[in-house]
Amino acid sequence: MTLVLEWTSAIFLLAGSFLCITGGVGLLRMPDFFSRVHAAGVTETLAAPLLLCGLMLQMEWSLDLVKVLMILLFVLATNPTATQAMAKATLIGGQKPLVTESESTKGDSPSNS
C-alpha cells in the first residue's frame, strides 16, 4: 500500500516541479506582458496544487494534513483571481497586448514600450 502512495506522490511532485520550471522559463522568455501573465498563471494555478497534493500524500493523517488542504483551497481561490485582476489592471493601465507577432514587429515597434 505505501509503495503506491510513494509512487503517486513522486509523480505528482515531478509533474508539479516540471510545470514550475516551464512556467518560470516562460516568464522570462515571453516577449510581451500578457503572454508572461499566461506563463505565470500556469505555474500558480496548476503547479502549486500538484505540488501540494504530492506533499499531502506523503504526510500521515493529522491536523497538518488538514492545514495543507486549507492552503491548497486558499491558493486555488486567490491565485487565479490575482492573475486575472493583474491582467485587467494592466489592460486598463494602457498596455496594449502584442496583437500578432509577425506583422507588427516588421512595422513600427510594438505598441507597448
Partner 1 sequence: MLIAIAAIRMRDLFGVVILFGVYSLLTAVLFMDLDAVDVAFTEAAVGAGVTTVLLLSSLRLTRRWEAPPRHNPFFSLLVVGVTGAALVYATLDAPLLGDPSAPVHKHVAPHYLQEAAGEVGMPNIVTAVLASYRGYDTFGETLVVFTAGLAVLLLLGFGESGESRIETSAIHDQVVLKVVVKLLIPLILLYALYVQFHGDFGAGGGFQAGVIFATGFILYDMVFGVENARAVMPAAWLPRLAALGVLIYGGVGVYSMLAGKPFLDYSALSADPVHGQHLGVLLVELGVGITVFSIVLSIFYALSGRRRQS
Partner 2 sequence: MLTAAIIAILVTMILALVRAFLGPSEYDRMLAANSFGTKTVLLIALGGHALSWHSYLDVALLYAMVNFVGTIAVMRFFENRKQDGKEGSGGAS
The reply to whether 69 sits near partner 1 by the rule CB under 8 A is no
Shortest separation between residue 11's beta carbon and partner 1, angstroms? 27
Note whether 81 binds partner 1 by CB under 8 A: yes
For residue 88, give the 3-state DSSP assignment: helix
Burial of 47 (0-12, 13-18, 19+ CB in 10 A): buried
Does 77 contact partner 1 by CB under 8 A? yes
The answer to whether residue 93 forms part of the interface with partner 1 (CB under 8 A) is: yes
* Of residues 36 and 104, the one with the C-beta less far from partner 2: 36
The Cα-based distances of 21 to 50, 63, 99, 100, 105 in angstroms read 13, 30, 26, 26, 28
Binding stretches for partner 1 (CB under 8 A): 74, 77-78, 81, 84-85, 88-89, 92-93
